Chains A and B, each alone.
Chain A
């Protein structure tokens, strides 16, 4: 008799053809991992649909047979969102990679989930437009994946995270129903905002098959200001002073000395010896007023640092931007051996709390006797603690403890345990802690109820987001 597994595989092959499924042992191996350190189950099958109807039919089959489904595109999750916690199938949406429509006057672009963010922005650049969310993985990450994790990135200080840029969705529910949410318009006030609900849901509700994204004209002119600092308080105060002066940079990044060292060759800057932290601000303005604005910011920063550099040359600015974007990757080169992993933490606090939170994190680093480097998006209070650890059980336990320590610091300072990487399986206990501390566990119960409405048979990305005590 045909097993359930075989019958599901055969049904899916019937729907999308054998060339669009992967069932061979070798072919399934890469899907046990994403960009996180978390390994998942080997899938029963990987489906590579080419349109929403195929996605719908696959989901219907899985729903009827209660088969776990994980959606994946660029496979760049840092929290294990796109690997399977229990056996099932993976739907890979990479073949849906088209730009369907561009409307400059109404400020939107319609595209498919498998489109990579850099490809989208390279396309928009020709029209002098851009789509602002820019996670460090934008080379490989996709519209579908970044919507699912509500990704942020370097420009979030000015433009916010992904959620702000999604106008509407075409979405396939687990029962195969294809729905449309949101509008093509820049405003909406038409019932519950299901678009906002789906963004950040990490594939636990269904599959995004199309997205209407808001776009912006490229800033007319930008300039970069870099400052070197002896301590984090000066960095924090410098940043607050800039903001208090009514200036919102389009990018505001800080890096600690270790991180700075790992990208030193790419930055090609003279770094003063006393440096413990570097602050990097991108300021935009009109051609005429940029110089003045840069000088204003320089004046403010000079109160806190003796070494401030202004950079106007676009090539140099690009090189520095790419170096910062590649900071996490550059740190990876510093691994001592193949068994060492670097886990990237991702907490957020209100921007004014950042120096205090950083100080406490630094203390925890010492207490836990770990090698940790720090960088992040100072403009919005997002701190990435990069934890070097052994990949064995002891190492992972240490990581989990430290992640919990910094999560508690973030919570204490009115922040959150996850700023832009999502929850996946890595942070579900931290999410629980966040709501436990707020004495609002009912919020999580409400989230679970919402999940049940979308996915009553619980087939979508099982084991993600919610912490199970057992």
Chain B
């Protein structure tokens, strides 16, 4: 079945009840302009595939979708507007509809050339300088997520002052001279970089302390292609993921420990769709933690990551936190958790800000200390110093450390 048929099959089921948009974080952020919410996306997608000859402008509606999948749980007929958005983005990159998104194109070009969306592959392993890893067929794979946060935060701050038309023109210029993107290495948030490096080290520490033996590929660590997938470049991703897989096999990797929810979800659920007989075992680092921890007397709240809770039904981090602290969750929790807005950070910074601010306030009303289990959540919600990464929170509670 091709992409268009798939979209048609899903959108035909929609009864336009609007339940999905009641939980969609982007809708209020776009001041309730329907095509920036779940129901509007499904209706627009249905219209688009039935009017392929009309010149429709579709990219903003679907690129602004966070892929959080909150809508799926609200829909009485089981439609996932996030999946509809993924398919629409794929159709856009296949040029079935209007012009491609220039910023997305630029990142795709950078990934294909540098194996990193900002051309920063060599920067991404620096955090591990001085750490000894084991020789093992189990590796940790960072997906460059923690490492890219300081750069995206910087770009974001600058983007708030630049009109999107200028950003698009600029992106087109960079796409033509893609080596220019490597200049981004000079622009990052220094404090966040220190923090992210620290969290990466914490994760390694927790795993080692839990008695695990694992390796890290350092400079050779491949970027798994998350942005290619998220931005709809599925054809490119198919090829790209095959090469990454081949590389990992050449390194004799048998188990990958993912350390962020997005990379975990990609490797666990998307890679096997494109790679026949995919046989690398994918685990999430919180599933492996086995430590003697003391109980914290602090009341905390947790930003449960969409890619674990909504995409993978996985609550292991929550179980650990529940055992060691007094966890209070906001109204939207578990299957109704709300995204931090992170996935919109690069393309729609104001929207991302509006969503993260709302979520931050909801969390703050619940408890003063917010624990995050995803670098994107940390980056988007750390409006004060009382937001802390899971790895750091847990590390502070190790007995006799």
Contact = CB atoms under 8 A, between A and B. Distances in A.
Contacts of B58: 26
B261 interface: no
A396 interface: no
A289 B16 CA distance: 44
Given A27-B33, A29-B47, A34 B16 contact: yes
B77 A332 contact: yes
Given A24-B57, A27-B34, A30-B44, A140 B76 contact: no
A92 B22 contact: no
B22 A94 contact: no
Contact of B17 (A31, A114, A137, A330): A137
A35 interface: yes
A338 interface: yes
Interface in B197-246: none
A114 B33 CA distance: 13
Contacts of A118: 22
B39 interface: yes
Contacts of B47: 29
Contacts of A24: 57
A330 B15 CA distance: 12
B331 interface: yes
Contact of B56 (A26, A35, A330, A333): A26
A128 interface: no
B18 A35 contact: yes
Interface in B18-56: 18-19, 21-22, 28, 31-35, 39-40, 43-44, 47, 56
B43 A29 contact: yes
Contacts of A460: none
Contact of B57 (A19, A26, A95, A97): A26
A94 B32 contact: yes
Nearest to A327: B76
B77 A329 contact: yes
B65 to A, nearest CB: 15
Interface in A381-425: none
B46 to A, nearest CB: 9
Nearest to B21: A140
Contacts of B15: 35, 329, 332, 342
B282 interface: no
A333 B12 CA distance: 12
B22 A35 contact: no
Contacts of B74: 139
A140 B19 contact: yes
Nearest to B46: A29
Contacts of A76: 17-18
Interface residues of A, number: 37
Interface string A18-49: 01101011110111011100000000001010
B32 A30 contact: no
Q: Is the interface of B mostly helix, strand, loop or mixed?
A: loop
Interface residues of B, number: 29
Contacts of A30: 34-35, 39-40, 43-44
Interface string A162-175: 00000000000000
B218 to A, nearest CB: 47
A35 B47 CA distance: 16
Contacts of A19: 31
Contacts of A31: 34
A151 to B, nearest CB: 14
B6 interface: no
A336 B279 CA distance: 39
A92 B32 contact: yes
Nearest to B47: A29
A20 B31 contact: yes
Contacts of A330: 76
B17 A26 contact: no
A116 interface: yes
A329 B76 contact: yes
B18 A29 contact: no
A48 B17 contact: no
B17 A35 contact: yes
Contacts of B61: 26
Interface in B78-97: 78
Contact of A326 (B31, B76, B331): B76
A122 interface: yes
A75 interface: yes
A418 to B, nearest CB: 19
A108 B160 CA distance: 41
Contact of A140 (B17, B31, B57, B331): B17
A35 B74 CA distance: 15
B102 to A, nearest CB: 19
B13 interface: yes
8 contacts: A22-B33, A25-B56, A26-B58, A30-B39, A75-B34, A122-B331, A140-B21, A140-B22
Interface of A: 19-20, 22, 24-27, 29-31, 33-35, 46, 48, 50, 74-76, 92, 94-95, 97, 114, 116, 118, 122, 137, 139-140, 326, 329-330, 332-333, 338, 342
Which are the 3 A-B pairs with shortest beta-carbon distances? A329-B76, A94-B32, A338-B12
Interface of B: 12-13, 15-19, 21-22, 28, 31-35, 39-40, 43-44, 47, 56-58, 61, 74, 76-78, 331
Given A139-B19, A338-B12, 16 more contacts: A22-B33, A27-B34, A29-B47, A30-B39, A30-B44, A34-B18, A35-B16, A75-B18, A75-B39, A76-B17, A76-B18, A92-B32, A97-B28, A140-B17, A140-B19, A332-B15
